[in-house]
Structure 1
Amino acid sequence: MLGVIAAALGGPEVLQVAELPEPEAQAGQVVVRVRAVCVHPADVASTTGQIPRGPVMPPFLPGWDIAGEVASVGPDTTDFQVGDRVAGMIPWYLTRGAPGGYAELVAAEADWLVPLPDGLDFASAATVPLNAQTAHQGLALLSRDQLPGGRVLVTGASGGVGGFAAQLAVQSGYRVLAQATHGDEEWVRGLGVHEVISRSTDLATVGPVAAVFDAVPLGEPAAAAVQSRGAVVSTRPTPAIDPARGVRQDLQLIHLDRELLAELVAQVAAGKLRTRVAATLPLAEAAEAHRRVLAGGLPGKIVLTPG
């Protein structure tokens, strides 16, 4: 089978198409024929070595989120049958590229996968697991001492995590102020948020808000909007806020929650949560996909389509 490996640490040029052995499903596993794999900033970070717990030494397979069909089933695996449509998240923070999703076939633990409703296409499904779970889990951190009805700022609402965070915050009863990329205000407004601001807005002028979900993250500029004794959740480490302000800071690091993932995929399939795909590219063009992610400004996610 074909896969795309990071042959060294570096930029997109380190990604190479390689012929790899076909995986076999072990006990509790299925082999997924991958029809779509999402390209995340986390994938780009993995190839440059800028990830938590230090760099993974090449060669390895990038790729967290996959959607496809079950090609084979291992012993004692009863959750899925051959031909089932599935979506899932490879917990790359554990596998560290063995396996990763940039391949035609992936041996996945059944617990990584959920059924894929017929009404949801593979490419859209592949944009959900990492982004939507990060948003939901980060919002749960934010909500520990913030009552529904409060005003919440979401940075990067044009992006994958920020877009889901904005929608889920609205569902939870918050008044959501969402920051949009220039020219993308209309799409962000369509997420049901209460206010939309542009990327160039000085966030110190829009507060005080009860809490900030800093999905970019921006760090200090976003923290300037939060009220004293408020809360900030970010998706990467950011500078400490002056302790005198009493602002609680949390770092959201993803953990796989199969029950939550099934719920989020079902919401997207039912049209209750929106996602979008900026472009699909063949798996062999993974390096080009990474270049586009690095360039930024994408109206949605890049998805690779093996096969």
Structure 2
Amino acid sequence: MLGVVAAALGGPEVLQVTELPEPEAGPGQVVVRIRAVCVHPADVAATTGEIPLGPDVPPFSPGWDIAGEVTSVGPGPAELEVGDRVAGMIPWYTTRGVPGGYAEFVAADTDWLVRLPDALDFVSAATVPLNAQTAHQGLSLVSLAMLPAGSSILITGASGGVGGFATQLAVRGGYRVLAQAAHDDERWVRELGAHEVVPRSADLSTVGPVAAVFDAVPLGEAAAAAVEDRGVVVVTRPTPGFVPARGVRQELQLIRLDRELLAELVGQVATGELRTRVADTMPLTEAADAHRRVLAGGLRGKIVLTAG
């Protein structure tokens, strides 16, 4: 089968299309024929060495979010069957790319996967797991701050994958949402339900003050300037240099796979309760070019690699 591996750490040029052994399903696993795999900034960060990988890698395969069809089932009791359409998240924080999703077939634990509703296509489904779960779990940290209904929350990066889901979920959660949009992407953010759209160029110290910030970019100190005294800032990756002041605290949200939550979120995208968007699809063999486009920025939606 074809797969894409990072043979070394570096830029997109380290990604190589190569022949890999076809995987076999072990106990509690299925083999998934990959129809779509999302390209995330985290995939780019892994290849450039921004994500610690351990002493035995590279080589490794990027790819967290997959969608496809079950082609074989491992020995023992099985929750999934051959032919099932599935979507899921490879917990890359533990697999470190062995396996990763940039391949034609992947042996996946059944706990990583949920059945895909017929109403949802593979490409759209592949944009959901990492982004939507991160948004939901990050907003749970905001909820733990015991904010009263109607409290204002600022979401940075609302044009992006995590920020877009966070905007929708926060509106549904009863917050008054101020959403920061990328240039010329204000319409999309308004369509997600934001009560107020904040330009990307805005000085966030002049916004609010808000009870909480979901800093999906993250911006760090610049985002914290918008929060009220003793407010909370949720970030999606560490922000060096953050200095607590005015009683403001920072909460770090790192993704954790929650199969029940994933099934719920995938179902909500299938019914149209939640929206996602795809900037472009590209063949798996063009993964290096996809990484170049992510690095260049300016995308409106996710790039999804397709196979099969």
Deviation, 1:165, is 0.6
Match of 2:40 in 1: 40
Partner of 1:91: 91
Deviation at 1:240, TM superposition (A): 5.3
Identify the residue that residue 154 of structure 2 maps to in structure 1: 153
How far did 1:56 drift?
A: 6.7
1:1-307 equivalences in 2 (<5 Å) = 1-52=1-52, 57-145=57-145, 146-239=147-240, 241-307=242-308
**Shift in Å, 1:274:** 0.4
1:157 positional shift: 0.3
Give, as a single letter, the amino acid of the residue that structure 1 aligns with 2:97. Answer: G
Note if contact 1:156-1:180 (Cα within 8 Å) is conserved in structure 2.
yes
1:241 Cα deviation after fit: 4.7
Displacement after TM superposition at 1:154 (Å)? 0.2
Question: For 1:32 and 1:54, how far apart are their aligned partners in 2?
Answer: 26
Change in CA separation of 1:158 and 1:54 when aligned onto 2, cut-off 3 Å: farther
**Closer, same or farther: CA 54–29 of 1 in aligned 2, 3 Å:** closer
Structure 2 CA distance for partners of 1:50 and 1:13, relative to 1, 3 Å: same
CA–CA separation in structure 2 for the residues paired with 1:148 and 1:111: 34
| SS in structure 2 at match of 1:57 | coil
1:148 positional shift: 2.7
- For 2:262, what is the secondary structure of its paired residue? helix
| CA offsets 1:169-202 (integer angstroms, 9 cap, x no match) | 1111000000000010000100011011111011
Tell me if structure 2 keeps the 8 A contact 1:104–1:306. yes
Question: Which amino acid in structure 2 is aligned with residue 304 of structure 1?
Answer: L
Inter-partner Cα distance in structure 2 for 1:143 and 1:238? 21
1:134-153: CA deviation from partner (whole Å, max 9, x where unpaired):
00001101111123310000
- Residues 247-281 of structure 1: per-residue CA shift (max 9 Å, x gap): 12111100000000000000000100000000000
Does structure 2 conserve the Cα–Cα contact (< 8 Å) formed by 1:163 and 1:188? yes
Q: Give the secondary structure class of the aligned counterpart of 1:13.
A: helix
TM-score by length of 1: 0.98
Contact 1:77/1:110 (8 A) holds in 2: no
Given that 1:15 and 1:287 are in contact with CA atoms closer than 8 Å, whether structure 2 keeps it comes out as yes
Cα 1:256–1:24 change in 2 (3 A) is same
Distance in 1 separating the partners of 2:116 and 2:186: 30
Q: Is the 8 A contact 2:63 2:97 kept in 1?
A: yes
Question: Where has structure 1 moved over 3 Å in runs of 4 or more?
Answer: 52-56, 239-244
User: C-alpha separation between the residues in 2 aligned to 1:243 and 1:279?
Assistant: 40
- What secondary structure is seen at the aligned counterpart in 2 of 1:245? coil
Judged with a 3 Å threshold, the aligned counterparts in structure 2 of structure 1 residues 229 and 101 are, in CA distance, closer, same or farther, namely same
Deviation at 1:117, TM superposition (A): 0.3
**TM-score, scaled to structure 2:** 0.97
**DSSP-derived class of the 2:276 partner:** coil
Query: Unmatched 5+ residue regions in structure 1?
Result: none
* Distance in structure 2 (CA, Å) of the matches to 1:172 and 1:238: 26
SS in 2 for 1:43: helix
CA contact (8 A) 1:29 1:77 kept: no
Instruction: Check conservation: 1:46, 1:56, Cα contact below 8 A.
Output: no
* Structure 1 position 76, deviation (Å): 1.5
Q: 1:219–1:21: structure 2 CA closer, same or farther, 3 Å change rule? A: same
What do residues 52-103 of structure 1 show as CA deviations (whole Å, max 9, x unaligned)? 5668721101000000000101112421110000000000000001100000
CA contact (8 A) 2:53 2:96 kept: no
Distance in structure 2 (CA, Å) of the matches to 1:280 and 1:224:
37
* Structure 1 residues 117 and 166: alpha-carbon distance in aligned structure 2, compared to 1, 3 A threshold: same
CA RMSD of aligned residues (A): 1.2
Displacement of 1:243 in angstroms is 3.6
Distance 1:120 1:244 in 2: 45
Q: Deviations over 1:192-222 (max 9, x none)?
A: 1101111101111112000000000011111
Identity %: 78
Quickly say closer, same or farther: Cα 1:33–1:206, change in 2 above 3 A. same
